[in-house]
Structure 1
Amino acid sequence: MKKKLLVTICSFTILGVSIPVYAGGVTGVEVKKDDSEKYGTISDFDYDIEGSTVKLHGYDGKCKVLEILPTYNIDGTDYATDLSDFQVGIGNSYVESIIFQEGITEIYDAIFNSCDVQKVFFPKSMENVTDKALSYLSPKENGDLIQIYYAGTQDDWGNIFTEYKRTKVEDSEFGEEMGESIADKLNEMMGSKYDSSEFEYYFSASPDDLKTE
């Protein structure tokens, strides 16, 4: 199966929407978990600290299984994790599995754009996952399906898994909204559409189901 090369509005300038440039990670980080080097540390992320939150933008590390925590301790202060524009695929081809730990409530719809992720764990704390977010995931040519693990029940998943509502280009306002609607239209033209036959789901799952030795 061909790898989808998808458009993301944050990767180019379109109709006045420019790309922000982010600084690298801050040193002096206190690591919470003994196995953090195996599953990712805050120093491997591109991020900004905004008030009481740490806004993640991209991941520069080499972990195959990436664990994202709801809070990170940076220089002795705890910051809540903000994934509102985080994309794991930007400049990274190592991550094959991603674990969103309990406490994460939302993700950026384009979080999986151009990534190689094959397995995802969602915690029960997730409030919404759209079909658009999953549409960026592509199975490898070996015939294996994308595996979605969810801590809640199948009924719980049905309550949070929703259809993405795309704004038509002609109905969008000039600026960022129009840029996003154009990107959405181009992605659909390039085959970015959720196909349930490419996925298999596991409910009442644990993060340990994705962790490997």
Structure 2
Amino acid sequence: MKKKIVAMMLAVSMSLTFAACGKSEKNNSNTEQVEKNETKENAKGVTGVEVQKDKSEKYGVINDFDYNISGDTVVLHGYDGKCKVLEIKPSYEIDGKTYNTDLSDFQVGIGNKYVESIIFCDGITQIYESVFNSSHVKSVYFPKTMSNVSDNSLSYLHPKDGEKIKIYYEGTQEEWGKIFTEYKRTKVADSEFGEEMGTAIADKVNEMIGSKYDSSLFEYFFSSTSDILKK
């Protein structure tokens, strides 16, 4: 009887050992298959893996601008970066010193085809007539600190067929009405030689080619925040 019991125990023990080994081999087999599938998937290649950018670079940094320093100001001329959404700040820190932003010569579209939205940050007070010249900008954000925006500036913005240029303003429609003004063109005959005559000639050319503000091409959003344009 004792011999039978011992034999039975050995048989049960061997059965459990074989079962465990079988299960282990099955798990190993599944793991190997998963690894083979992953290797096969990786062998196909992955398209469009983007680099993780620093958030401070997401909407443009000073090094991406064409600029020069004049006294306590940084004069922006153009933007050479690839951000689709560009922030223009009222001041920039360069080599440990803070400079106020001068936009008198800035044109976002000269040499740049990437910028689709531009945000003028709180503290920017004015833009100049040709700031949107040759740009691909589809939407613009203006802060309440803006003192004036002329219809001529916006006339440089041209939407694609079936679309509208979107203008976002931090203030109310009533407040926008106070800063949105009609551009007064200078006649060539009335202008003095120099910069004034150059502006008058440019105005005349723009008038001849039909460059004029068309309100039906614009859609306005009031009491907005700049976050609406950040992606």
Q: Which runs of 4+ in 1 moved over 4 A?
A: none
Give the Cα–Cα distance (whole angstroms) in 2 for the partners of residues 192 and 35 of structure 1.
Answer: 37
Secondary structure of the residue that 2:174 maps to in structure 1? helix
Give the Cα–Cα distance (whole angstroms) in 1 for the partners of residues 150 and 56 of structure 2.
Answer: 29
Instruction: Give the match for residue 186 of structure 2.
Output: 167
**Counterpart mapping for 1:13-28 below 5 A:** none
**Counterpart mapping for 1:111-130 below 5 A:** 111-130=131-150
Q: Deviations over 1:139-164 (max 9, x none)?
A: 012x1100000001101100000011
Secondary structure of the residue that 2:221 maps to in structure 1? strand
2:175 is aligned with what amino acid? D
1:129 is aligned with what amino acid? V
Give the Cα–Cα distance (whole angstroms) in 1 for the partners of residues 167 and 212 of structure 2.
Answer: 17
Instruction: Give the match for residue 43 of structure 2.
Output: none
Instruction: Give the match for residue 213 of structure 2.
Output: 194
Offset, 1:175? 1.2
Secondary structure of the residue that 2:58 maps to in structure 1? helix
Give the Cα–Cα distance (whole angstroms) in 1 for the partners of residues 58 and 109 of structure 2.
Answer: 18
Segments of structure 1 that go 5 or more residues without pairing to the other structure are 1-33
Instruction: Give the match for residue 59 of structure 1.
Output: 79
Instruction: Give the match for residue 4 of structure 1.
Output: none
Give the Cα–Cα distance (whole angstroms) in 1 for the partners of residues 73 and 194 of structure 2.
Answer: 26
Give the Cα–Cα distance (whole angstroms) in 1 for the partners of residues 210 and 55 of structure 2.
Answer: 38
Give the Cα–Cα distance (whole angstroms) in 1 for the partners of residues 61 and 173 of structure 2.
Answer: 31
Give the structure with higher Rg (CA): 2
Give the Cα–Cα distance (whole angstroms) in 2 for the partners of residues 42 and 70 of structure 1.
Answer: 12
Offset, 1:191? 1.6
Give the Cα–Cα distance (whole angstroms) in 2 for the partners of residues 54 and 39 of structure 1.
Answer: 18
Give the Cα–Cα distance (whole angstroms) in 2 for the partners of residues 190 and 76 of structure 1.
Answer: 46
**TM-score by structure 2 length?**
0.76
Instruction: Give the match for residue 16 of structure 1.
Output: none
**TM-score by structure 1 length?**
0.82
Give the Cα–Cα distance (whole angstroms) in 1 for the partners of residues 144 and 218 of structure 2.
Answer: 19
Give the Cα–Cα distance (whole angstroms) in 1 for the partners of residues 66 and 97 of structure 2.
Answer: 18
Offset, 1:85? 1.4
Give the Cα–Cα distance (whole angstroms) in 2 for the partners of residues 36 and 48 of structure 1.
Answer: 21
Backbone CA RMSD of aligned residues:
0.7
Offset, 1:108? 1.2
2:113 is the alignment partner of 1:75: no
1:84 is aligned with what amino acid? S
Instruction: Give the match for residue 204 of structure 2.
Output: 185
Offset, 1:36? 2.4
Secondary structure of the residue that 1:209 maps to in structure 2? helix
2:187 is aligned with what amino acid? K
Q: Which has the higher contact order (CA 8 A, sep 6+)?
A: 1
Instruction: Give the match for residue 46 of structure 2.
Output: none
Give the Cα–Cα distance (whole angstroms) in 1 for the partners of residues 97 and 223 of structure 2.
Answer: 33
Secondary structure of the residue that 1:191 maps to in structure 2? coil
Instruction: Give the match for residue 50 of structure 1.
Output: 70
**Counterpart mapping for 1:150-165 below 5 A:** 150-165=169-184
Identical aligned pairs, as a percentage? 71
- Count of residues in correspondence between the two structures: 178
Instruction: Give the match for residue 207 of structure 1.
Output: 226
2:115 is aligned with what amino acid? V
Give the Cα–Cα distance (whole angstroms) in 2 for the partners of residues 36 and 204 of structure 1.
Answer: 25
